[in-house]
Structure 1
């Protein structure tokens, strides 16, 4: 089956950004109004509504959601609330959430179901730690996370998978091109076995110290359909070159 999905660059702002930071989203929206790839910004929840108002052709996503629709969950937001802001997607299972908030694959799976029920695209993050990489467990870890974090009844057309080796996030270290290729090829094969040809339309993003200086070579790899970018997505001067690098592959 011919792959029809659009490639994507997603910016995860994490716990960064005040009201003044909306100017960066407006600048990106103007600069990339006719982009040949999908561009998504995931600001903190405090900026979601206003970001959606100025996003134009950009997609706006959240960084997490609760699996419940509503209820006594102080400090949490539901997928329905995110959709009500106008956002189109949500990052789930990021390694920082898994580590700092003890999120298991089962929790990520339930959040993915909630996100899709609310009409959102679920950006499901997977990846191994340095210890798992050095122990030769990378493929086994990815297999477990793909199986347990993604529900059986998921709609592949509203799902993105982001491979983020935990040891490369924010460290400046990146896997070799061969290691990235191996991981992405495994993810594609695994998704195809589970969801059939529909899995060809699931973008596979690479994340982990992506920046302008390495984006071109990463995007040249087979089955790398874009990137989930952290710190380099905060300022247009850093993020735009990454977007242009992906557009050059289309």
Structure 2
């Protein structure tokens, strides 16, 4: 919940003035709902995906304040983040509700970035792998995909989000390697082609060592993405190592 539409407009304009796109590295930007149309218009003609931060599971109905898949699709938005830790832990979204959202988004023709990850208590209790397995199993239950690009998994340890504490490279690698192992069981023919991202206090100082990890395909950038110069620097590093 950052940047007014006018601030988002200025950020987007400055971004395309400065950034130089190269290689196969993709840039995806997820503004708040009120800024989606503004940013989408500015990025028209540029190789930047604009996506939404959330979506409801129902197509329409008495759900005041919510946004549906058809609404987003009508705006030309076909990427969406589902299950972000803040949605789970601040707004109480359950795995069942997240599963309904994923099904609705996929069946509605959207590409889903599914966020998973453990809390500090869960990590300290040695439950990291149990949480990852449980979330992936429940969130993707009954979810059919024909194209691996329709699904991206973002591992975001809750204890590293907005805290300035980043997972050590070995922690990120072992967690995302485990994600990949679980994906092999769910989507045996596609697991190797499903992108896995790391999220959690990633910045220009630590992103290179994370991008170099064998199972990390990119980053889900939080606070650092609000700073134009830092976000561009992260993108430059990603073009070299992702």
**Normalised TM-score (structure 2):** 0.94
Please name the residue that 2:63 is paired with: 73
Matching of residues 100-139 of structure 1 within 5 Å: 100-139=90-129
How many Å separate the matches in 1 of 2:71 and 2:207? 34
Q: In 2, are the aligned partners of 1:157 and 1:198 still within 8 Å (CA)?
A: no
Q: Does 1:29 align with 2:16?
A: yes
CA gap of 1:25–1:35, structure 2 versus 1, over 3 A, is: farther
Aligned partner of residue 113 in structure 2, secondary structure: strand
**Cα distance between partner residues in 1 of 2:16 and 2:108:** 25
1:36: how far off? 2.8
Residues 197 and 32 of structure 1, relative CA distance in 2, 3 Å threshold: farther
Distance 2:102 2:162 in 1: 25
Aligned to 1:5: none
Equivalent pair of 1:68/1:78 in contact (CA under 8 Å): yes
Q: Using the alignment, how far apart are the partners of 1:98 and 1:139 within structure 2?
A: 18
Structure 1: 5+ residue stretches without partners:
1-14
Structure 2 residue aligned with 1:20, among 1, 4, 7?
Answer: 7
Q: Deviations over 1:160-180 (max 9, x none)?
A: 100000000000101211111
Q: State how 1:206-217 maps to structure 2 within 5 Å.
A: 206-217=198-209
- Report the TM-score, using the length of structure 1 for normalisation: 0.91
Bigger mean CA offset, 153-162 vs 119-128? 153-162
Q: Is the 8 A contact 2:22 2:239 kept in 1?
A: no
Structure 2, unmatched stretches of 5+, are none
Contact 1:29 1:58 in 2 (8 A): no
Quote the residue 1:6 is aligned against. Answer: none
Q: Structure 1 residues 183, 233: closer, same or farther in 2, change over 3 A?
A: same
Q: Contact between 1:29 and 1:57, CA under 8 Å: does it hold in 2?
A: no
Aligned to 2:168: 176
Aligned CA-pair RMSD? 1.3
Q: Which has the higher contact order (CA 8 A, sep 6+)?
A: 1
Size of the alignment, in residue pairs?
236
| Contact 2:149/2:195, CA 8 A, preserved across alignment | no
Matching residue within 70, 80, 84 for 2:74: 84
